[in-house]
Chain A
């Protein structure tokens, strides 16, 4: 069963891995990705604020999961994306995919995070002691997402 959630609270990857593979005796591969808050180059990040478009986010993530299932032979998908204020090294996002064989699990997991980064309505704002600025979209992410 798919699990797609937007939430403020932290998540436990081990718990989520156990949940997605429970009683799934037909699968042979589980691939996971965790995105975390990276400090700024000058090590001054005090917090990262994550905003989203509440009415659209869930629908956008579900659509990405559905697209992944159409492209690859995967069983279940978990996507957990946090919002609110986060600190350095905090976990932001978890993506897990399962399949019979590893190729589809690897490729679908990569697709989901690549597509989420350019299509799901979240925005990050970095804060230091002296200033705040919105993170700019990365052109490399757009190029990567366009390859699918």
Chain B
């Protein structure tokens, strides 16, 4: 189906460049300490004058890993040509997970490379620690121009963020933003954005910022979309695209009004499940289109040849599995995320099966950019994995992790207990707070995690319980996992 994007009026284009440029220059001088301002760091005079690649991280919201049309498990009606193209041109991480399936903690982990229990944003109520180092900082010190455009959504006051030249975000709806006419904070200044659709608007700003970078200077763009978070709102021209499709792919335990149960109702997805799900998929079409537009622009300008692009999401999303909607739980549909990486030396059409976690992205970016680790990061650089076992700061591929810790902290009023789990290539073992019984699933044989084997295989449960204890200690100690 056609995905022709809306054109940007020339007057608006001119305005955007002027607004970004002007506000970028003024940003440091206006309302210091008011939050949302970039705090550029001085360039290290000793930074090697090497040719550095550009870096793009596109982070979507609540995008299920199996909802890309190149994925074998994708709904038959869904077409995501931009993501399909990226996958064909780069490497797909088939086993990419988040370490906490919730917006704020996951975003903190992507930015810092640390587990939520380390960076401190353990749920949507605990504030971001401004002392946490993000991947922007070493990049900027090495001469990168850096931009964060889109969803920040950390609890607490919006910080002034070190390591940025441009900080564009939104605080509407407690940081969730709104799909239509979402006002933006551009370097701390509120800018009204009438007649805009947020996914398109953020992409416009990203393209404008990329175009404004000086030739020869490397840049890093972190583009964090609201899509495809609720309220699922596709662009006007895509609304209704799936109105008549069969959604027989929804799990058998789901039913139309399950979102009205208290276990689900606070996800903000009240209504008929099939209607909501169709709108989710339509919103995804809009996201795919804008990703395609950004990547096309990189191709057209020639920047793509020296740009790494990472596409992923902050967490997955249940659509009826276990009679749940949303995220948070340790099950596959909640913790798995899409991962596509393209770049100058990233093989095309490759699939990587090793376990990748969202804590890996920050050290990967710093290895690409400055050939150095991010000191407090607990993830591993993916460079070696992508280069078929080549040397990397992430360590030998042969010694790649065989499991990881998943953690979730209670987030009021969601009816999900605090939990920690260990997920390896075959098993998921989870321990819950407040007296809920542990669970054990053979995810290789039972990817829908329907059959709890905790009573059937106590030996396996005991082994994994011991491993969980080890992982807890390693993560708590800040070690690279």
Whether chains A and B associate is no
Residues of A within 8 A of B (CB): none
Residues of B within 8 A of A (CB): none
